[in-house]
Amino acid sequence: MTTLAWTGAIRDRDRLLRLLQEYGVYAALAVLFLVAVALDGSFVSSGNVRIQLFQVAPTLLVALGMALVIGTEGIDLSVGAVVALAAAVVPLYLGYGLAPALLLALLLGAATGAVGGAMVAFARVQPIVATLSLMIGVRGLAEIVNGNSAKPVTDAALLGLGSDSFSGVPLMAWIAALCALVVGFVVRRTTFGRRLVAIGDNRQASRLAGLPVRRVLLTVYVVSGVLAALAGVMIVGHGAEADPANQGLNLELNAITAVVVGGTPLTGGRVRVLGTVAGALFMQLITAVLTQHDVPNSYTQIVEAAIICCAVYASQERGTR
């Protein structure tokens, strides 16, 4: 009889872990939100919510691209540097208007992604190595372009992009949400999305099934670069200055954290878009709560580390079913 109790407990534990893996991030987000409100009712004031949304939007954009790359069993460390590159070139071309400057930034993001993607897809460099070299090189390039100092930005359109709101919600957050919807749709419903996931799960079988493996890989890194560049332009607009030496620093790591906390496995073969959104919000919220209650930054980092460990543990594939 103890046998039955034992195995029953085991099964419950497995089921719990599976549930946690699937829905844990949403539950954690909800709990954290309630705790934040309970601690300080003004947390839900429209002003504070907007501040949080302004801050999370660029991270989320980068994380969406990262989720796609991670879905192919890759990683893109160059995104923070792409933000810097976008920040460096945008002020130089604002004279022609926001649209050309934005377009150029996106093109450069795409180009960086293409270089990384080509290294991964054609030269078969490991993603971490390929994008690490870009991360270093592209930031250097950005600092050269910019001349190594922060430049104030005064263009009204760009400042508007960074600080305007629509129906009380920051424009940046609208754009990030729209991108999340598009990426979610792409993953679920398009040939590109299905192929991406298949390649992440079993590359050799995908190749033998006639999938354009190299094209898909290349595209994924290009998309990641473009999203990072868009995030870069937003960051410049929001901060009203272009500072390639500091903007986008560690953003690649924050993006990876959001993806992982959102339950996307680093082993590829699965992309959780909504989870990534929740992951980004969760990390934003926890930092905000700790900061607003005067917890020193050093402690905040330790808490974040603990959360990442928990998330990775919960999202591990269980060996037995």
Binding site for other proteins (CB under 8 A): 3-4, 6-7, 10, 124, 189-192, 194-195, 197-198, 201-212, 269-270, 320-321
Question: Cα 151–156–157 angle (5° rounding)?
Answer: 105
Would you say 10 or 302 has its CB closer to other proteins? 10
Contacts of 79 (CB under 8 A, 6+ apart): 62, 65, 66, 224, 225, 227, 228, 231, 248, 251, 252, 255
DSSP states of 9-71 as a string? HHHHHHHHHHHHHHHHHHHHHHHHHHHHHHH-GGGGSHHHHHHHHHHHHHHHHHHHHHHHHHH
Indicate the residue type of 52.
Answer: Q
Q: Name the minimum Å distance from CB 20 to other proteins.
A: 17
For residue 73, what are its two tokens? Answer: 């069993």
Q: Name the minimum Å distance from CB 13 to other proteins.
A: 12
Question: Cα 88–90–96 angle (5° rounding)?
Answer: 145
Would you say 50 or 203 has its CB closer to other proteins? 203
Q: Name the minimum Å distance from CB 202 to other proteins.
A: 5
Would you say 215 or 293 has its CB closer to other proteins? 215
Would you say 170 or 184 has its CB closer to other proteins? 184
Q: Name the minimum Å distance from CB 182 to other proteins.
A: 13
Q: Name the minimum Å distance from CB 116 to other proteins.
A: 19
Q: How far apart are CA 10 and CA 52, in angstroms?
A: 40
Contacts of 38 (CB under 8 A, 6+ apart): none
Q: How far apart are CA 204 and CA 221, in angstroms?
A: 20
Would you say 115 or 211 has its CB closer to other proteins? 211
Mode of pairing for the β-strands spanning 165-166 and 151-152: unpaired
Q: Name the minimum Å distance from CB 209 to other proteins.
A: 5
Q: Name the minimum Å distance from CB 84 to other proteins.
A: 32
Q: Spell out a b/e string for 166-195, using b for 16 or more CB atoms within 10 Å of the CB, else e.
A: eeeebbbbbbbeebbeebbebbeeeebbeb
Would you say 165 or 202 has its CB closer to other proteins? 202
Would you say 170 or 193 has its CB closer to other proteins? 193
